[in-house]
Amino acid sequence: MHKHSTLGEFIISNQKQFKYTSGELSRLINSIRLAAKVVNHEVNKAGLVDILGDAGDTNVQGEDQQKLDVYANEIFMKKLTNRQIVCGIASEEEDDFVTISGNDKKNNNKYVVLIDPLDGSSNIDVNVSVGTIFSIYRRVTPVGTPVQKEDFLQEGKKQVAAGYIVYGTSTMLVYTTGHGVNGFTLNPAIGTFYLSHPDMKFPEDGQIYSINEGYYVHFPQGVKDYLKYCQEEEGDRPYKARYIGSLVSDFHRNMIKGGIYIYPSSSVGPQGKLRLLYECNPMAFLAEQAGGKATDGYVRILDIKPTELHQRVPFFCGSKNMVIDAEGFMAKYPEDANY
């Protein structure tokens, strides 16, 4: 498929690539595309209307929810529920997963979706890019019965599709179904996504490191050592530091330019901050499909067997050789692996 075809055309012409060709997954990605347009519209007018600020609730992780988080969550939940294409959804903004039953009270759909409806939410009121992250699995329990927790607690390597939307200087939808990564840019004038970044690849080496270095004192020694290495004058180092504070945007930049993103464990957050199911697994799937690498510093993210919906995990992700270098530093402190 050549550049400038629309996302709609791309989905149709690639349907045959899917292992199961009922068209269900295509319809599912289509509804994410529609939800993305609605959320994009809202994100872009956030500066104009009084939608900013906390909604007054805190989410299940005890963080303040901003109004746009709530809104984005509602839109994605609604679009995915209405069209009867999934049998269950788990969202970072919901305490538990939601079961979806069809009109006949049975659900014959095969897919579950896990979603971080608004990633980087602390950036909303300062006009900095935010995103949405999604992850799709086939259910493991029998079709026609209500979904169970085990349908959501699958290893990341079982994902059938994953992607993100970045609401940035331009809005892009980037996704994979296990056949490489493709990026589509929204033309807001006509509301159409066009294939602008076919077959995206992480450069094997990079010169950008992205980490919240403000928490340096809390980091494990392996991370401290790696940061010192990034900052040394030697070969192509020192590297550039770039940290937006929106995983989606930091990842997107690093995939294009070459870089590593790290959210490590720390003495205040032994499991790190990012959620395995809503953030790390989908990003790890994309990273690997783009020739990059994602680990928790020791273990491949996609191999981790989840035990709870809102589980957190340390995250090292990006250009292959950079992640390998970082792992080399972590390996010197095996005792930090299970913090």
Query: Collapsing DSSP states into helix, strand and coil, what is residue 195?
Result: strand
Residue 293, contacted partner among Mn ion, ligand AHG, none, CB below 5-8 A by kind? none
CA pair distance 201, 217, nearest whole angstrom? 34
Q: Rounded CA gap, 56 and 272, in Å?
A: 25
Phi, psi torsion values for 201, nearest 5 degrees = -135, 135
Binding site for Mn ion (CB under 5 A): 92, 116, 118-119
Residue 212 interacts with, from ligand AHG, Mn ion, none (CB under 5-8 Å by kind): ligand AHG
Q: How far apart are CA 261 and CA 107, in angstroms?
A: 39
User: Out of Mn ion, ligand AHG, none, which partner does residue 146 contact, by CB within 5 to 8 A per kind?
Assistant: none
CB of 272 to ligand AHG, least distance (A): 9
Q: Which residue is nearest to Mn ion (CB)?
A: 119
- Which residue is listed with tokens 């079982």? 158
Binders of ligand AHG in range 60-99 (CB under 6 A): 63, 92
Q: Does 286 bind ligand AHG (CB under 6 A)?
A: no
- Which x/- pattern, by CB under 6 A, does the window 176-215 give for ligand AHG? ------------------------------------x---
Instruction: Name the residue nearer to ligand AHG (CB basis): 92 or 151.
Output: 92
Phi-psi region of 91 (alpha: psi -120 to 50; beta: other; left: phi over 0): beta
Of the pair 147, 279, the CB lying nearest ligand AHG is at 279
- Closest to ligand AHG by CB, 91 vs 109, is 91
Nearest to 85 by CA among 34, 41, 128, 132: 34
Q: What is the pairing mode between strands 192-197 and 208-210?
A: unpaired
Residue 264 found at the interface with ligand AHG (CB under 6 A): no
Among 37, 79, 139, 273, binds ligand AHG (CB under 6 A): 273
Q: In the set 91, 177, 246, 266, which binds ligand AHG (CB under 6 A)? A: 246
Using an 8 Å Cβ cutoff, are 255 and 261 in contact? no
Contact with ligand AHG (CB under 6 A) among 119, 288, 327, 336:
119
Size of the site for ligand AHG (CB under 6 A): 11
Quote the tokens at residue 26.
Answer: 């295509």
Instruction: Give the nearest distance from C-beta 272 to Mn ion in angstroms.
Output: 12
- Which pair of structure tokens corresponds to residue 321? 């050789």
Q: For Mn ion, which is the closer residue by CB, 13 or 61?
A: 61
Block residue for tokens 């929106």: 246
The encoded tokens of residue 128 equal 């900095």
Q: How far is the CB of 60 from ligand AHG (least distance, A)?
A: 11
Residue 120 interacts with ligand AHG (CB under 6 A): yes or no: yes
Reference 314, options 277, 260, 274, 283; nearest CA is: 274
33/273 with CB nearer ligand AHG = 273
Q: How far is CA 103 from CA 1, 14, 31, 155, 263, in A?
A: 37, 29, 18, 30, 43
Burial class of residue 49 (count of CB atoms within 10 Å of its CB; 0-12, 13-18, 19+): exposed
Is residue 130 classed exposed, middle or buried when 0-12, 13-18 and 19+ CB atoms within 10 A define those classes? buried
CB of 180 to Mn ion, least distance (A): 24
Of 73 and 159, which CB lies nearer to ligand AHG in the complex structure?
73
Residues in the site for ligand AHG, rule: CB under 6 A? Answer: 63, 92, 116, 119-121, 212, 245-247, 273
